[in-house]
Amino acid sequence: MSKAHHRKKHPEAVRRQVLAVAARLSLEKGPASVTLDAVSQAAGVSKGGLLHHFPNKLSLLDGLFDDVTQNLDRVLAERMKVDPEPKGRFTRAYIGAFFQPEGLEDGERWKVLTVALISEPHLRDRWREWFDRHLVENIGTDSSLDATLARYAVDGLWLDDLLGVSVIDTAMRATLLKRLLDMSRL
């Protein structure tokens, strides 16, 4: 028997490594560079090992989407749990998750996912479903015009940060953050 049959398998570690490598390849060389062959080679796993987790490129992107949105769900839930004011709670959690001067915890994976959302209708549909689910869950508390404007504004700021388009100084950021949080309460 080969060593592969005797070594311990760590499927979750392999899955995480494959996703990290796919994200890195996409950032360094563009989304077209994310082929199953390139990912398996760069990750140091057999193509069969990769195919066990991700049978095609779209399932790899789905895996990245799932990881990023599950983490986002966790962050939102944690922020909402400690916010005592129901009105605008989801919007404030959303603002807090995306309005980060140091960037998102999953910033690099969000960059990859953003490009994929633009180019993959399937992922756009999944993002729309994710967002719609949260809006429906919070319809009584976060459906005001001001809360909607605050979420759209933070989306624009987040995209600006993600792309590195402009740099907003600390004082302006603090003012924007306060204004957006105030809007969530209207």
**44-95 pLDDT, tens per residue?**
998 888 888 899 988 988 988 898 899 889 999 999 999 999 999 999 999 9
Which stretches of the chain are assigned E, i.e. beta strand?
none
Quick: pLDDT tens for 116-159.
Answer: 888 889 989 999 999 999 999 999 999 999 999 999 999 988 88
| 6 confidence band (pLDDT: 50, 70, 90) | very low
Q: Is the pLDDT of residue 32 over 90?
A: no
Task: Pick the closest to residue 12 from 52, 71, 56, 48 (CA basis).
Answer: 52
Q: Rounded to the nearest 10 degrees, how much is the dihedral formed by the CA atoms of 42, 46, 49, 50?
A: 40
- Retrieve residue 83's tokens: 């916010």
**Tokens of residue 32, six digits:** 């077209």
CB 66 within 8 A of CB 135: no
**Residue 88 per-residue DSSP state:** T
Q: What does each C-alpha distance from 153 to 11, 13, 55 come to in angstroms? A: 40, 37, 38
Nearest Cα to 127, choosing from 139, 149, 145, 110? 110
Is residue 162 within 8 A of residue 107, CB to CB? The reply is yes
Q: Is residue 101 predicted with pLDDT exceeding 70?
A: no
- How confident is the model at residue 9, as a pLDDT? 67
